[in-house]
Structures are given as structure tokens and as C-alpha cells.
Amino acid sequence: MSSRTSPISQIAIRRAVARDAKRLTRLVRGSGAYEGKYAAMVAGYRVGPDYIEAHRVFVAVDADEHGGRVLGFYSLVLAPPELDLLFVADEAQGRGIGRLLVAHMRSEARAAGLDRVKVVSHPPAENFYHRVGAVRIGTALANPPAVLWDRPEFEFRIPSE
């Protein structure tokens, strides 16, 4: 089994703290999903301590490693309800971490009393969102110069328990 597809024995999801900001920024800027024509979108992107304080940001860490290597993270904005960021480190993709983060996000959304959460997806992530149960609701049109391409819009429906 290659290291790319080998399972991680212990994954913990914890609330992000201000000191995670630089690691999360590096994960976003280094994402292989944003190479080529998408590179400009994240070139100057920053996940700052202020962002972490303002939103529900959670990180997936490898609990087997000293210091807990960050494998991925997501950010849930409550008003209006939106999954603002969801990233899995390139070397950790294919191990179910994205699916785990989405399940955690759904649980957080339910606990916050939300019944749906919108996602404006990066085009290469469209199939992922279909696979984890999001429903396509439309298209966010390009908004030059910030965003040069149309993006699929999804919604997670959050059933009450």
C-alpha cells in the first residue's frame, strides 16, 4: 500500500486555535487543487488568527505524530450558514479525511441549530461534494478580477435528530 492511500490510525478533530493560523495558511496556499489557472486564487490567501476566532474552524490532526500534523481543516460560518473553507493536505487525500471533516461539520451545524449549510465549491472539488451528500443548487458566476470562473453551489441539508 502506498503512503498516499495508507490509512491513518488515529485522527483527531479539534477546534483550531490562533497558533494554527500559519499551518492552515500553508495548507491552503500549497494545495495541489489550486495549481495552474487556479493558483492566483490562493496565492495571497491568509487564514489569520482573527478568522479562526470569528468562525468555527476545526482541524484534523494525526494523533500518532508528536505535535499532531495537520491533515485538513474546515471553517463553518454561522450567519449566513456556509462551509467557507475545506482543505485536506495533498499527501493525506484519499484516506477519508474530507469525509470525516464533512461529518464533523454536519454535527456542528446541527448543534448550532442550522438546517442547511451552503458551499460555493472550487470546480475540481465538485465530485467530492456530490459523494459526501451535498445537493447542487446553482452556480456562482465568475466575479473578475477576484474569481475568473463560475463555481458550483451546493447545499448540505442538516436534519434535526
Encode pLDDT of 51-67 as tens digits: 999 999 999 999 876 66
Encode pLDDT of 6-35 as tens digits: 455 689 999 999 999 999 999 999 999 998
Encode pLDDT of 79-124 as tens digits: 999 999 999 999 999 999 999 999 999 999 999 999 999 999 999 9
In the chain, DSSP assigns E strands to 11-15, 56-62, 69-77, 82-88, 116-120, 135-140, 151-157
Q: Report the alpha-carbon distance of residue 28 to residue 42 in Å, rounded.
A: 7
